[in-house]
Amino acid sequence: MTSCTFCRIATGEIPALKVYEDKEYVGFLDINPINKGHTLIVPKKHVQWVYDVVDQGSYWKIAQKIAKKILAELKAEYVMFVTWGLEVHHAHIHVVPRYENDHHKGFLDWEAKVTVSQEEMKEIARKITIIK
């Protein structure tokens, strides 16, 4: 699916700060994060909905690994997972770190983006990258 943004990221056609990659999945920093370390995990094969990903166990295991790395390296208080997937029609898990006194009250405010410089994004990616 050549018009799919996430398919193009998975193939390397669109650059991204990847923090995880194996033969089936890729994880990368969201370019418009709602908190520092906001990561997306997508299957390389185009699938529209998270519930259509065949190997749910592997998919969520990757989300868990990234969450634990975020907790350890970015000192997040906890991590939230969101899978609504309407903005890009390709299955993706949002892994969103939560910090004490962040700008979200309870659930996440998707309009409240944080500004993170490209240099800081690269440093975050370096800290949370999981070598596969």
**Residue from 38, 90, 92, 94 carrying the catalytic annotation:** 92
| Mutual angle of helices 56-74 and 118-128, in 10-degree steps | 110
71 Cβ partners below 8 Å, 6+ apart? 78, 79, 97
| Catalytic residue check, 92 | yes
CA 15/CA 76 separation, integer angstroms: 26
CA 76/CA 43 separation, integer angstroms: 25
Catalytic positions:
92
